[in-house]
Structure 1
Amino acid sequence: MPSVVKWSHYALLAGFSAVLPVAAYAQTEVEAEAEPEAATTVTDERVVLEADIVYENSADNTIIAEGNVEALHQGRVLRADRLIYDRTTERARASGNVIITEADGSQQFAEEVDVGPDLTDGYAIGYSARLPGDATVAAKSAIRRSDGINALEHVVYTACPLCEEDTTPTWSIRARRAVLDEESQMISYRDAVIEIGGVPVFYLPYLSHPDPNSERRSGLLMPNAGLSSTLGAFYKQPYYWAVSDHSDITISPMVMQNVNPLLGVDFRKRFYSGAVKFETSFTHEADFDSDGETFGEETFRGHLYGNGLFAISPEWKWGFGVETQTDDLYDRRYDISGQGDKRGLYSNQPRRLLSQVFVTGQGDSYYTDAALLNFQGLRGEDDAARLPLVSPLAYADKYWDLGAYGFASVTASTAILTREVGADSHRASLGGDWNTMKILPGGFTFEPFAELRGDYYMLDEDVSGKDSVARAVGNTGAKLAYPMVRPGTNVDLMLEPAVMAAWGFSNVNDPAIPVEDSLLYEFDESSLFEANGFGNFDLYEGDGKVSAGLTARALWKNGTEVSTTVGRRWRSRADPAFDVASNLDGKSSDWLASASLKMGKKLELSSRVRLDEKDLSLSRFDMRAATSFDWFRAVGQYYKIDERISPAGTSDEGIFLRGEIQFTDRYSVVFGQLRDISRNVNTRQEIGIAYTDDCSRFELLYNRSELRDRTLGPTESFQVRFSLLSLGNFGSDSFE
């Protein structure tokens, strides 16, 4: 929220309050001999006053202080050449190089300050102020009326620090008049001009917004305007409505050159036990392509994203998330953000909307959740009739600490999926597990474990070939590791070889069981020592298996850390239920490895790799890097998936990069790219120049997207976006 007029309230109240106590004390000192008791009653309000001369003028009943006048009251200091208090009118006037210094170090200046009794009215001539954060304000005059109206004439404000040799700030606001209404806590401007480098850029005949020191107030927010290859020229003007102390609505109408207007509405409300938030928009328009050419019939179109979370008790909560839109490409046509946000217990997939209602409970020895899920597909190949309705998906876990005998738990789960077209499945599961850890002679760690679970599936016989399937799954085994630690003067080293062996039930994956939760599951180094390589329910890894791995870690005293894990898995029997992408097909897995390097903000690297078990060729590689220096900061991610293990049957490779290089104290180059290397397409590309100083940031950017999705094709645009300290952001968000 812009805070351009914080100085108005600050000057006329805090500034004038430094004068009245001075005058009152001057009067008290003169009358102290005749009224000693009165002097005693105002002792706590006294002001330390110093001046070359202090005297009383009986002719006009005034008290006058002249020459290097300095008054100190409750941490506030007033300096002036002359101070006059009129006991008849009860007005005080300070003149000549008036300087008021607050306890926080901020200063106010004026040629003359005059205030009436009880601070109800007054004025300042040649007023200026230096506020916290190096903000500066100047006005030809400042007037305070008894009805709570504060007015400043010919006002200039900037949040940029000013130096004697450079009096032109990066930006400033110049207005003919600014008014603060203390009762409504609203500030209004007449003939306001925003200047950049002393050059007028924006003119607003009228501007009004809440006092930044006030509580939430209704008013216009910063507009957003631009030029789009799809929408044409557009203008968006949000209005913030503070409905109550616990709710608000932001209404954002947007007019566009090529298509009909759109209205956006955001609603937030807090309750005693929780809160809700909704984001929606709607319009009456036909479909249109990436050039803004409309086709088809006009109809109402829109979207709704929302979520809520409420406490039932200290241990139990319930909530909901809603995601829906009328058209698959609605969010891309109107550049609606937030499609990938998590709005509940479960996250959606890219271009798949998820609506959910859920409840969770967690105590010292249990956890449980249950949810109803509904999906909406936004991909071109999605068929709504084949997407499932999940009612419900539930999980419960109760565990016990058995002391010297380890830990035990019982779990229960259910998943009921129905479709208009395709296989329905109803699953119920009940199981238990046990594990413990022992320290063996020589420093070995020994961790035996056992798990057993029963699953029952009620199926659609016309699709699955069976009306039901019942099975028992389980594993038992142990993990043996030998952690070795070598402390050093400069670096501590840790090395841990480990091996896990387990035996489980065979032939547990009946072909009639529909695979719902393990379609894209991949065995990697995070589950290397798990008895069941699949963490979900529909597929289960039984039979005999052995995993071996080595973890190494080095920690330097300066905080630098390097770690890596390498391992592989062998199985007693190949299970045809596992495909090559799962990394559990055949009798042995590919080689798995992960590595990371942490050097604080200077550099963070993390990578994961999967190498073919036969020739060690690269099957999968993921790497992420982040770095931040005074002159350079960037984050990048690279991935490559070989066609041998790709679910799509084709290789997949891409890179994401975003950063900023500073080549002078003020100027830098910003860049960003999201590239699909395998398809030779730049999903998003951005490059530009940025200017940054103590009070502002300006960016000139070129954006291009080669993404094609049915009727939408490549787009490009130029953007100018900037943010001004204390006035908020204009345009898009800055670098993140």
Structure 2
Amino acid sequence: MANWIFYAAALGMVSAAPLVAVAQAPAESTEEQAAAPSEHVVLEADYLYEIRDENSIVAEGNVEAFYQGRVLRADRIIYNKTTDKVRATGNVVIVESDGTQQFADELEVNSNLADGYAIGYSARLAEGSTVVANSAIRQSNGINALDQVIYTACPVCAEDVTPTWALRARRAVLDQESQMISYRDAVFEIAGIPVFYFPYLAHPDPSSDRRSGLLVPSAGVSSKLGTFYQQPYYWVISDHSDLTISPLVSANVNPLLELDYRKRFYSGAIKINTSLTRETDFDSDGLRFGDEKWRGHIYGKGLFAITPEWQWGFGVETQTDDLFDRRYDLSGQNERRGLYQSQPRRLLSQLFAVGQGDSYYADAAVLDFQGLRAGDGDGTLPFVAPVFYGQKYWDLGKYGFASVNASSAMLTRDSGVDSQRVSIGGDWSDLNILPGGFTVEPFAELRADYYALDEDLSGKADVARAVGNAGFRLGRPMVRPGKTVDIMLEPTVMAAWGFANTNDSAIPNEDSLLYEFDESALFQANGFGNYDLYEGDGKIAAGLTARAVWKDGPAFSTTFGRRWRSRADPNFDVASNLDGTSSDWIGTATADFGRALRLDTRVRLDDDGLKLNRVDARLSTSYKRLRATGQYYQINERISVSGEPDEGIFLRGELQVTDRYSLVFGQLRDITANLNAKQEIGIAYEDDCSRFEIIYQRSELSDRTLGPSENFQFRFSLKSIGDFGSSEFD
């Protein structure tokens, strides 16, 4: 029992009269209070007196009682020494040690200020959530039983007593040990209007740790699945692992089970997403065809530390059908799950190790691909075992920098060309500053490649070659500081000479099929950054980099240049921008005004007449009520890999019309094909505790048995509870 009688010593001044007040008890200093034993209650009040007939101590006026980090404030407190109960009335507030607050019109608790009952009860929980009840009973085990309850995460004030959303229930239990709030006969209200009824509902309180239980379901109507319902269940297996089990039932097709597993180890972690069903194929209208069989997918990744410098990991991506993820609207395809990332609609499974120290880098991986595109034939994508790269480098001081490297790639196919490559090379460079502010960087590189080939398909059993370049980069940085703007200019020239006839037509081009020479490689001796194609012979590149930075924030920068070659190489196609004896003019420009506006542009101008061969412009803004991103691209048929022009636009953003309402819009349009890959428009409402969206989406894309679709989405997210709604109302 807390020793309330300890502070009654101040009543020694009390006369024989039964009711006498003394000012500001207790008399101890703050330091003395802090040093008091933890089982004592520290009581402060304007007046303190004793009612001897009732064996009670009464405190009135700005009363505060402190006990083990808990504070009780009230207009009046009566402590009955016989029953060991404390009764507080008038503006009662209890402040817990974690900062949460509880309020009541009237309160009766035991001497530790914890267990008891309250009338006109309310509590402010973590993250700003509020619970209001007519009455509350608190037990010693941390159970709070509430009657006629309202719960909301929205700010509640006298001027606006109706929150955006609230849960209203006949009875609720707040379990402080399990950190769960459960309701009986609960009604979910929006702006005071009842929307959903739940006989039973439970959710964690905002300060809770993770725990097992039902998550927010997804339900709706889809043209593919029909009426469907997916109910996730979150299972906390241990402190370091959990599993989300999400069965999906629908009207048109058989049930599907989706699982998400996560586990942390002392050296790393894994994450697996998978699904399983037994079903036939079906189209975008839900019409079923073909044989019924087991179908599913697995997307997973893991990364583990071996030593402080070395790690190993894996990524797995596989599914039984090319369109399985699109039929069930599963997300996750084309995410990066390891050292390498595949192209869209190409799954990649990998096992890898990577290490990096002060003077070395190395990685090795095994790769397996699965094609999901209509033209991907069985066995045409390679199995790579292994692909390896290692580099060791040295700082030679006044003699520059040097490195040696080794690389290999072993590719096999069930149908197509097999190839195995091993490469060993080295490079050296130095940087010197000449009189007049010129910088000169001499460099040299040398590499030997050996290819083992399929003679029946390549015409040769093997190919060995030596490739290399030597040259220099010469620049003249110039800076002109100003009162309002600083201007920087740097003209640069690169000249190099390399081995001739380095590309053998028997070598399969595996790593440079989609390569395009741009400004990032303008001053590199080898315009190709990969292995199968190499740029030898003589070449000169010239370019100008300029930058202007205003004192008040805006900045502009650009790089523009071109490359000339001594000889045309027939192995370089037009798309690579290294065909012929001169490249197209290439450039990039950026205008940065901070959050208000940023524009990034890349262009490729034809070397004959400066015709626009390619442009890629991206704009982003977050200015006042508008947040948006836009991108426009155009590729001329002269440089397109397919020989066809390509043009499109992407737009996505949100315009805040009022303080609460916004217009949401988006567009992904293929201008060449004259179709909208995706377009959406809708309205959103958002306040401090919730967000509501109504979105209309339409896609005109077709992929074999799946055709165009449109849907309405209704979603809303509630602070401290979660997200509701569905994105599938096709």
TM-score interval w.r.t. the shorter chain? over 0.9
Counterpart in 2 of 1:47?
A: 42
Counterpart in 2 of 1:96?
A: 90
What amino acid does structure 2 have at the position aligned with 1:661? L
Deviations 1:659-686 (A, max 9, x none): 0111111111000111111111111111
Pick one of 470, 483, 488 that aligns with 1:489: 483
Deviation at 1:165, TM superposition (A): 2.4
Deviation at 1:499, TM superposition (A): 0.7
Deviations 1:617-658 (A, max 9, x none): 111110111100230000111111111111111011111111
What amino acid does structure 2 have at the position aligned with 1:292? G
What amino acid does structure 2 have at the position aligned with 1:334? Y
Counterpart in 2 of 1:280?
A: 274
SS at match of 2:594: coil
Distance 1:681 1:175 in 2: 50
Counterpart in 2 of 1:16?
A: none
Contact (CA 8 Å) 2:86, 2:113: kept in 1 or not?
A: no
1:590 and 2:584 aligned: yes
Counterpart in 2 of 1:299?
A: 293
Counterpart in 1 of 2:406?
A: 412
1:642 and 2:639 aligned: no
SS at match of 1:575: coil
Does the C-alpha gap of structure 1 residues 200 and 391 become closer, same or farther in structure 2, counting only changes over 3 Å?
Answer: same
Q: How many residues align?
A: 711
Contact (CA 8 Å) 1:23, 1:84: kept in 2 or not?
A: no
Deviation at 1:605, TM superposition (A): 1.1
Gaps of 5+ in 2: 15-26
Pick one of 716, 722, 725 that aligns with 1:728: 722
Contact (CA 8 Å) 2:597, 2:623: kept in 1 or not?
A: no
Deviation at 1:731, TM superposition (A): 3.7
Alignment of 1:191-230 (within 5 A): 191-230=185-224
Pick one of 394, 400, 407 that aligns with 1:400: 394
Deviation at 1:164, TM superposition (A): 2.0
SS at match of 1:688: strand
Counterpart in 2 of 1:13?
A: none
Alignment of 1:584-623 (within 5 A): 584-623=578-617
Deviation at 1:257, TM superposition (A): 2.0
Deviation at 1:205, TM superposition (A): 0.9
Does the C-alpha gap of structure 1 residues 108 and 180 become closer, same or farther in structure 2, counting only changes over 3 Å?
Answer: closer
Distance 2:61 2:480 in 1: 75
Distance 2:153 2:412 in 1: 59
Deviation at 1:77, TM superposition (A): 5.4
TM-score by length of 2: 0.93
Contact (CA 8 Å) 1:22, 1:47: kept in 2 or not?
A: no
Distance 1:282 1:30 in 2: 76
SS at match of 2:596: coil
Contact (CA 8 Å) 1:723, 1:729: kept in 2 or not?
A: yes
What amino acid does structure 2 have at the position aligned with 1:477? G
What amino acid does structure 1 have at the position aligned with 2:702? R
Does the C-alpha gap of structure 1 residues 107 and 319 become closer, same or farther in structure 2, counting only changes over 3 Å?
Answer: closer
Counterpart in 1 of 2:20?
A: none
Does the C-alpha gap of structure 1 residues 104 and 320 become closer, same or farther in structure 2, counting only changes over 3 Å?
Answer: closer
Distance 2:153 2:143 in 1: 24
Alignment of 1:61-76 (within 5 A): 61-66=55-60, 69-71=63-65
Distance 1:330 1:515 in 2: 31
Counterpart in 2 of 1:59?
A: 53
Deviation at 1:725, TM superposition (A): 1.7
1:339 and 2:333 aligned: yes
Counterpart in 1 of 2:440?
A: 446
Contact (CA 8 Å) 2:70, 2:113: kept in 1 or not?
A: no
Counterpart in 1 of 2:24?
A: none
Counterpart in 1 of 2:21?
A: none
Does the C-alpha gap of structure 1 residues 559 and 67 become closer, same or farther in structure 2, counting only changes over 3 Å?
Answer: closer
Contact (CA 8 Å) 1:226, 1:719: kept in 2 or not?
A: no
Deviation at 1:343, TM superposition (A): 0.2
Deviation at 1:146, TM superposition (A): 3.5
Deviation at 1:27, TM superposition (A): 3.9
SS at match of 2:520: helix
SS at match of 1:384: coil
Deviation at 1:350, TM superposition (A): 0.5
Counterpart in 2 of 1:169?
A: 163
Pick one of 678, 682, 698 that aligns with 2:672: 678
Contact (CA 8 Å) 1:264, 1:280: kept in 2 or not?
A: yes
1:323 and 2:348 aligned: no
Deviation at 1:687, TM superposition (A): 0.3
Distance 2:115 2:378 in 1: 69
Alignment of 1:685-696 (within 5 A): 685-696=679-690
Pick one of 98, 103, 123 that aligns with 2:117: 123
Contact (CA 8 Å) 2:205, 2:720: kept in 1 or not?
A: no
What amino acid does structure 1 have at the position aligned with 2:664? V
1:308 and 2:311 aligned: no
Does the C-alpha gap of structure 1 residues 417 and 150 become closer, same or farther in structure 2, counting only changes over 3 Å?
Answer: same
Counterpart in 2 of 1:535?
A: 529
Deviation at 1:185, TM superposition (A): 4.3
Distance 2:712 2:455 in 1: 57
Deviation at 1:103, TM superposition (A): 8.3
Does the C-alpha gap of structure 1 residues 180 and 663 become closer, same or farther in structure 2, counting only changes over 3 Å?
Answer: closer
Contact (CA 8 Å) 1:25, 1:47: kept in 2 or not?
A: no
Alignment of 1:650-665 (within 5 A): 650-665=644-659
Counterpart in 1 of 2:708?
A: 714
Alignment of 1:370-389 (within 5 A): 370-389=364-383
What amino acid does structure 2 have at the position aligned with 1:47? V
Deviation at 1:297, TM superposition (A): 1.6
Does the C-alpha gap of structure 1 residues 334 and 32 become closer, same or farther in structure 2, counting only changes over 3 Å?
Answer: farther
Deviation at 1:60, TM superposition (A): 2.6
Deviation at 1:333, TM superposition (A): 0.6
Contact (CA 8 Å) 2:206, 2:720: kept in 1 or not?
A: no
Does the C-alpha gap of structure 1 residues 341 and 300 become closer, same or farther in structure 2, counting only changes over 3 Å?
Answer: same
Distance 1:275 1:308 in 2: 6
Deviation at 1:515, TM superposition (A): 0.4
Does the C-alpha gap of structure 1 residues 551 and 55 become closer, same or farther in structure 2, counting only changes over 3 Å?
Answer: same
Distance 1:189 1:467 in 2: 75
Distance 1:57 1:327 in 2: 83
Distance 1:68 1:473 in 2: 88
Deviations 1:451-509 (A, max 9, x none): 01000000000000000000000001111111110011111100011111100011110
Deviation at 1:695, TM superposition (A): 1.5
Pick one of 497, 519, 526 that aligns with 2:520: 526
Contact (CA 8 Å) 1:23, 1:92: kept in 2 or not?
A: no
SS at match of 2:436: coil
Counterpart in 1 of 2:131?
A: 137
What amino acid does structure 2 have at the position aligned with 1:590? D
Contact (CA 8 Å) 2:41, 2:65: kept in 1 or not?
A: no
Identity %: 67
Contact (CA 8 Å) 2:4, 2:41: kept in 1 or not?
A: no
Alignment of 1:3-14 (within 5 A): none
What amino acid does structure 1 have at the position aligned with 2:529? G
Distance 1:70 1:104 in 2: 18
Contact (CA 8 Å) 1:624, 1:638: kept in 2 or not?
A: yes
Does the C-alpha gap of structure 1 residues 309 and 77 become closer, same or farther in structure 2, counting only changes over 3 Å?
Answer: closer
SS at match of 1:272: coil
